[in-house]
Structure 1
């Protein structure tokens, strides 16, 4: 009988190993001692195979790096951008979930002036600010936050019914006004307010929109769905003796675009990349289908040549952006699979979870961490993306700083080995570089909506960028910028008119609060 060489036998076992992990099947007839039961199945049901058919960690490292890195070349990204662009064009013509036109049809000139109350209602904080606009000049952007209060939103606030919730908002507005000592806002006069509202709303005008289910554990929408958001807030303020008028309501992506456009007239796009992602773009009205605008007054169309569009870009990418088996596992386990493909592979909510899934497989097939999944990261979404950032920016010898943090956060008895740290750093960089590539591809595809036709005179496009991943993750914005520039450069031979075009991803700060004030200034000027 011919003997099977050891190398071939080991190769067969490795392939069987991968198949079993992918199918989540326990090897038939395999009997393990009781002491091995925790090694075979971890708390989160990730399969861990016996050491007889383990594969080397460095081999798995090469595979993970290849899977995440494969799409990140300019030729493939350019193709993906073209496919995304086609989907954008389709959704601009029809559909109610994305590519939603706002009522804001003008951008600021930078000459708007005034002092306004700006509100930023998010999922975890409610910020109230006194913002002064004083005209943009060469050495001053003309935007000044005179006073701001930040109010944490805990579970008790989220559970407040509508009347109490808007009363709480009105109280925080009143508190901020009492703290202002400069007398620039008189409480005896009607106060003009701009509101950045980070929840669903069916906008009916520049200053109005009907309440929709808020999500994120909030109860304030119950009983008032379909009622005007601005009116609810105005009534709550009047009950406290405050005469206010909500003159502008914008979402966070539109507010970010407006705030940067006040400083830089080349700004016609914005991108939010933090826990989630979204983008806005200023496009000609003719790009959109008539049904997109609903029942607007004809006078609006008489004034509007272009309009800011809330793209809901997170919803794009299915079947276009390549996925790994870890992306597919995350998507299958998600409460809304396939709903936001781009977001699931690029944002602060999910980058840590992708790393956790890779670690779980490494524990199961390479005996990483001794073959035991750390209890602290055994549950879904228990690995924070901040840890990935810490690993990437660690310049200490042997990454000792991040190794100590991993030991503490994972609850390990000892420091990760050098091989484990090399594995983690390689995978982290692969995950974040792919995220930057996909975000850059989405930006490039949106930019192509503006430059897909005849050559435009404007050669510079500024993209206002906000969000924790874009602003704080080490090197992320720089990578995005480089990828976009390389895709534009790659198209020179086929479209020479683009050779002088430049897309700059500009970091913005306090964008939503400043953008809400700018939105009021625009409303007052029209």
Structure 2
């Protein structure tokens, strides 16, 4: 008698085959039939199925297509094209290259204890941060106490008054837990806010609320009202006296964090689920219309300004796409909206991998030609799987093969040939992502530097799961930037030495927000 477990596995496989051939999700399989009008009637016309070919042949094609743009000469050209786009958008764009109100970088000598708030899509963090100055190497900034509060669906649905009251309660709780004496003495406490949602910034410490998305309701009824004032009023109602001294986004906070530690910092890069970058540039590099209506005194003080680049939006018709990128783009809610992001970030690397696997199953009999169940759903592959495959150095990728078998629900462990294909696909996808991100970073660097200038060092504050945790990503990105600079120097005959260092950061949003409070001139 057949063991029960084997029988159940066979039945599950039959179920998957039935679902696979009935549903056939968009973008994965070519249709076997189509309807063609002929003489007023419609007939089903059988089309040939996908052409089968050896897996190793497809493996070579994947490697070739993804590695082709990673040639340094092509990267130099793409960097120049991106720089031209940056310059254009610095003059006139309401969507990207947006100047903040932060015109000062920290000296590194700022001291004090500050409250930093970080409101994201799933958590609200409240931290008591102590700044001790740059001279305390390794201990310049310390989180003395922090609470992490989950933002669940119930919190997301809270109307404005209740949501900001909830925030005030969490701020009060953290202050009580930390034993901050300012609470007992009824002092006004300065706080900074990292707000991960749209806002119409009206000053260093103020901004009007915009629709938030992600299921939040707290903007309803208060659109256009000042965010800082709403928080202050909610805290006042709880008997907590606070003053919002800075409102900032995560890319700017990350730049300020690293600039407090290292004075050569003028850029930041966020690369996780999505991507963004900030850069510190002269005010005169931007068109006058970019600044909107600002007090003339701001321009009297500001020589440079931190710019939110929204770099994810660049790259259309510049960055080379494969057919899998085009599939992803066509099926996206916002095609062409964030070209760089669609080919470099944690949200999309797994999806590109999924599309490559799907084609291999269909045309090369990968996994015996049976589509794994979780390949049927878009965005079902996490970038963590790609990282696990890429960092697996065991003979035959035994460790990652077992993970692939488990996650894909395969009856058998993938063969050596199948794991070789998967590893090639993963490395090709991630290495191209590194090259494209390095190209974008070099183009930003070239806005304030030239390979023929005197020796320079630029620290880029790097934050986010992909640039921080994906195996080899940050080091490869830094090397690519160095190689582009070197290639340009050879052409110009320059002998200058330029370093662009990708500095990993820790808790940069919270700590950088505290720095933003410390440098306020209000």
- Which TM-score applies when normalising by structure 1? 0.90
Deviation at 1:175, TM superposition (A): 1.2
Tell me whether 1:340 sits opposite 2:338 in the alignment. yes
Would you say the 8 A contact 2:255–2:266 is kept in 1? Answer: yes
Deviation at 1:405, TM superposition (A): 1.0
Alpha-carbon distance in structure 1 between the residues aligned to 2:315 and 2:463 = 21
Structure 1: runs of 5 or more not aligned: 1-34
SS at match of 1:323: coil
Deviates more, 1:190-199 or 1:407-416: 407-416
Tell me whether 1:47 sits opposite 2:29 in the alignment. yes
Cross-structure match for 1:121? 119
Deviation at 1:214, TM superposition (A): 1.2
SS at match of 2:448: helix
Would you say the 8 A contact 1:71–1:77 is kept in 2? Answer: yes
Would you say the 8 A contact 1:38–1:372 is kept in 2? Answer: no
Cross-structure match for 2:40? none
1:142-221 maps to which residues of 2 (within 5 A)?
A: 142-181=140-179, 183=181, 186=184, 188-221=186-219
Q: Which contiguous aligned blocks of 4+ residues in structure 1 show a shift greater than 4 angstroms?
A: 35-42, 48-52, 184-187
Deviation at 1:183, TM superposition (A): 3.5
Deviations 1:120-176 (A, max 9, x none): 111121111000111111634521110111112222222222111111111111111
SS at match of 1:451: coil
Deviates more, 1:292-301 or 1:148-157: 148-157
SS at match of 1:226: coil
Deviations 1:246-285 (A, max 9, x none): 0000000000000000000000000000000000000000
Cross-structure match for 1:70? 68
1:86-485 maps to which residues of 2 (within 5 A)?
A: 86-137=84-135, 139-181=137-179, 183=181, 186=184, 188-452=186-450, 455=453, 459-485=456-482
Deviates more, 1:118-127 or 1:481-490: 118-127
Cross-structure match for 1:501? 498
Deviations 1:429-482 (A, max 9, x none): 000000000000000000000014983x66100000000000000000000000
SS at match of 2:70: coil
Would you say the 8 A contact 1:488–1:498 is kept in 2? Answer: no
SS at match of 1:504: strand
Alpha-carbon distance in structure 2 between the residues aligned to 1:330 and 1:74 = 26
For residues 209 and 38 of structure 1, do their structure 2 counterparts lie closer, same or farther at Cα, with a shift above 3 Å needed? closer
Would you say the 8 A contact 2:313–2:340 is kept in 1? Answer: yes
Deviation at 1:334, TM superposition (A): 0.6
Deviations 1:150-207 (A, max 9, x none): 1122222222221111111111111111111364665611110000111111111100
Would you say the 8 A contact 1:492–1:498 is kept in 2? Answer: yes
SS at match of 2:246: strand
Q: Give the paired residue count.
A: 490
Deviation at 1:37, TM superposition (A): 7.4
For residues 497 and 289 of structure 1, do their structure 2 counterparts lie closer, same or farther at Cα, with a shift above 3 Å needed? farther
Deviations 1:472-512 (A, max 9, x none): 00000000000000000001133455731111110011000
For residues 211 and 140 of structure 1, do their structure 2 counterparts lie closer, same or farther at Cα, with a shift above 3 Å needed? same
Structure 2: runs of 5 or more not aligned: 1-15, 33-47
Alpha-carbon distance in structure 2 between the residues aligned to 1:209 and 1:299 = 18
Would you say the 8 A contact 2:182–2:189 is kept in 1? Answer: no
1:5-84 maps to which residues of 2 (within 5 A)?
A: 43-45=24-26, 46-47=28-29, 53-84=51-82
Would you say the 8 A contact 2:451–2:488 is kept in 1? Answer: no
Deviates more, 1:50-59 or 1:37-46: 37-46
For residues 436 and 393 of structure 1, do their structure 2 counterparts lie closer, same or farther at Cα, with a shift above 3 Å needed? same
SS at match of 2:179: coil
Would you say the 8 A contact 1:119–1:193 is kept in 2? Answer: yes
SS at match of 1:98: coil
Alpha-carbon distance in structure 1 between the residues aligned to 2:144 and 2:136 = 21
Alpha-carbon distance in structure 2 between the residues aligned to 1:171 and 1:85 = 46
SS at match of 1:70: helix
Deviation at 1:416, TM superposition (A): 1.3
For residues 186 and 52 of structure 1, do their structure 2 counterparts lie closer, same or farther at Cα, with a shift above 3 Å needed? closer
Would you say the 8 A contact 1:282–1:309 is kept in 2? Answer: yes
Cross-structure match for 1:15? none
Would you say the 8 A contact 1:187–1:243 is kept in 2? Answer: no
Alpha-carbon distance in structure 1 between the residues aligned to 2:115 and 2:142 = 12
Alpha-carbon distance in structure 1 between the residues aligned to 2:139 and 2:79 = 33
